[in-house]
Amino acid sequence: MENLNKLESGFQIKNLILLESSFFRINNVAFGEGVNNNLDINTDVAVNDKVITVAEEATLVQKFQDVEQVKIKVKMIGIFECIGESALKDFDEFGKINGAAIIFPYIREHITNISLKAGIGAIILPPVNFTKNK
């Protein structure tokens, strides 16, 4: 059987770390019509030799009638390593697009779990297309 863990070339995630997680909600959160959610995502990339470090932060603010009802902030860092000779030579571009796209599902899952534990129902963030980060 072929060894699926052997990577000849490309990028491999070495570590994924939760750096920050904060949650706030008011006592009586409104649901339904009139609720406004704002999602802000920031991605920073650092390259050192063949190691790409991607820090991704997502902040979700839910408002109802201009009152902030829920605020969730999650920051994770992914550490990637280039293995062999990758076809993609721009490591910064890899971090901003592929690295960010790899980390984001973990952030989405964390926010969904926090919202469920807080009794406000599942907040499920939509997928994000990171190709605009070029």
Does residue 108 sit within a domain?
yes
Burial bucket for residue 42 (CB in 10 Å: 0-12, 13-18, 19+): exposed
Q: Which domain holds residue 49?
A: 10-133
Does residue 124 sit within a domain?
yes
Residue 63, domain CATH? 3.10.420.10
Q: Which amino acid is at 67?
A: V
**What's the total number of domains in the chain?**
1
Of 53, 70, 50, 51, residue with least CA distance to 61 = 70
Does residue 40 sit within a domain?
yes
Q: What is the pTM of this model?
A: 0.85
Give the pLDDT confidence of 76-94 residue by residue, as tens digits: 999 999 887 665 568 889 9
Does residue 84 sit within a domain?
yes
Does residue 128 sit within a domain?
yes
Burial bucket for residue 100 (CB in 10 Å: 0-12, 13-18, 19+): buried
Cβ atoms of 74 and 107 within 8 Å: the answer is: yes
| Look-up of token digits 């063949």 | 50
Intervals of the chain under pLDDT 50: 1
Does residue 3 sit within a domain?
no
